[in-house]
Structure 1
Amino acid sequence: MTQPPGNDCDGGLLDRYLDGDLDAAEKARMAAHLEHCRTCRRQADAMVAFSQDFHDRIEQATDAVDFMALEKQVLTKALRQHRSRGGFSTFRASLKYAIPAAVTACILIFFAYPTFVAKSSPAPSAIINSFTGSVSSVMIFETPETRQTILWYNEDPDVESDQNAV
């Protein structure tokens, strides 16, 4: 039998046909093509035989494997490795989080301490000037918050010094 005119062989379409990925119209067209094209029919038969052989071999191999024993071996090995990682390596792994946490805490304390610690009442940082007269004295203090504070107070006149002056 010869191939009908205008119906070229298409390997991609044949693959999709064997995979079952064609719509109804394409599937009917490919089935008609396979009836008339010996080359495509042989290729399709070879691909189906290979696929079936491959599937059978995989099934035989999986039947020979005891998956329960394999799972037990894998879990046992994983637990041994996990237990062997204890000691210094576990300590070292914990430092990965402890050191950044300690540094962050120190930075927060450094910057928050002046803000949240109860401040003592400000004391004058310096006496800038002092004037003393016969009846009163004036002192100018510099403080951190008010910058300048002027104290003016009256003194009791020293009676003895006034009498000595006479």
Structure 2
Amino acid sequence: MLLDEKIDPALAAEILTLPSVNEMAELFDIIDPIAIAEVREALTRTLATELADELLAIYNANYQSEYRVEHEDIAKRTLRNACLRFLAFGETHLADVLVSKQYHEANNMTDALAALSAAVAAQLPCRDALMQEYDDKWHQDGLVMDKWFILQATSRRRMCWRRCVVCCSIAHLP
């Protein structure tokens, strides 16, 4: 169904988007956020592996060399970034290459942040370098850096809290 070119890319992107941990938590009387997050990540990795060829085909088919703010283009970017998010949890080398390439070739903040978010969520090898590049480029813009802090704070990485404290103490925002 996802390869059906007749389906609206916005609908396909919505279909590919898993519920958040918070949305899943609403289904339970007793909430175990760690267990929910682990199950969600396992499901993401399974889908990334099982649908790798389809996801990559959709990702490549929705490449846009020019940035335009039109419904169809926004829908294609959203679908492409949803596929990238899954692909990031698949085969590590391919994920690292795709995410790095998208980040470096992004001509809009949506695509750059989608790549950065995928790198952080999947804990890809390129994650630290991309986070540093983003910081180096945008450290003077507080609103843009808010996205960076959100990614740092929501990382599943060990020692996340300590890293957030360090980030806040060395923040060089105007």
TM-score by length of 1: 0.22
Structure index of larger Rg: 1
Bigger relative CO (Cα 8 Å, ≥ 6 apart) = 2
The answer to which structure has the higher helix fraction is 2
More strand by share: 1
TM-score, with normalisation over the residues of structure 2?
0.21
